[in-house]
Amino acid sequence: MTTNTTLFDGADPNSVRSFFDEMMALGVEGMMLSPGYSYDKAPDQKHFLGRARTRRLFRAILSNRKPTWRFNQSMLFLEFLMGKRDFRCTPWGMPTYSIFGWQKPCYLLQDGYAETFNELMTTTEWDNFGTESGNPKCANCMVHSGYEASGVDYTFGSLKGLFAAAKATLFTKNDDDEAYRMLNEPVRPVHSYNPLVQIEKPSNNLEETRA
C-alpha cells in the first residue's frame, strides 16, 4: 500500500511530518508527494502554491528527515521540490489514457484527447508546455507529471545522474538548520494577505510568481 499526498498553501510542515510518522507506523510501504497545481478549471484558485513557496514548504518538510520515512518516487524529484535541483518539464513523461483516449498534453491541462498514442506524440506541440515555454498555464507548475519524469530521465541519462540518485537514496537526512527554524514559524497562507499572482503575457519576458 502507498499513499499519495498533494500539498497546498497553508499546509503545516509539522503536521505533514507527523503524518509521515503515522503512515510508517501503520505499515505503509511508500509515500508519494506533489504540490498542488493551479490549473484553470479548479474551483478554488486561492490555495495553490507558487514556486517559491513550494520550495520553502518542501524544504521544511523533507530536510532533517527521519530514516524510517519511505518514499515511492524519484529522490531527485524530491530534491527538485526542495529547491536543490533545477529540472525542465518533461510533459510527455506520464501520458494518461482513459475511455476518452490519450489526454494531451498532460492530464492537468485538459486540452482534449488523441485517439492513438502515435497521434498524441506527433501532433502535440511539446515546446509549448512546461515552465520554460512561457505558457502562462505552466508558470507555477512543479508537479510530478512533468518533473518527476525529468528526475528519472536525469537519473538514467548519465553516470552523473545515476550517482546523484544513488547519493540521494542512500543519504536521505539532508541536515539543514534553517529548515529546523522554518518548522517553528507560524503557518500563514499567502492568500490571507496576498493572492497568488497569475502570470500574464504582456511581453515576451515571463517570470514565475514570487509567491
> Contacts by 91-99 with C-beta closer than 8 Å and gap 24+?
91/126, 91/129, 91/130, 91/146, 92/121, 92/124, 92/126, 92/149, 93/145, 93/146, 93/148, 93/149, 93/150, 93/152, 93/153, 94/144, 94/145, 94/146, 94/148, 94/149, 95/120
Cell of residue 198, nine digits: 497569475
Cell of residue 172, nine digits: 536521505
At residue 115, φ and ψ (nearest 5 deg) are -75, -30
Indicate if the pLDDT at residue 75 is higher than 90: yes
pLDDT of 177 reads: 92
What is the rounded distance in angstroms from the CA atom of residue 10 to the CA atom of residue 191?
A: 9
Higher pLDDT, 48 or 161: 161
- Average pLDDT of the residues in 132-140: 82
What is the rounded distance in angstroms from the CA atom of residue 77 to the CA atom of residue 59?
A: 12
Average pLDDT, the chain: 83
Pairing between β-strand 30-35 and β-strand 2-7 as defined by DSSP bridges:
parallel
Q: Specify the DSSP element, H or E, that contains 25.
A: helix 13-25
Look at residues 39, 50, 42 and name the one whose alpha carbon lies nearest to residue 9. Answer: 50
pLDDT of 197 reads: 42
Q: Which of 121-130, 135-144, 158-167, 177-186 has the highest mean predicted lDDT (pLDDT)?
A: 158-167
pLDDT of 38 reads: 60
pTM of structure: 0.81
Say how many CA atoms lie within 13 Å of 186 toward its Cβ.
Answer: 2
Q: Specify the DSSP element, H or E, that contains 113.
A: strand 113-114
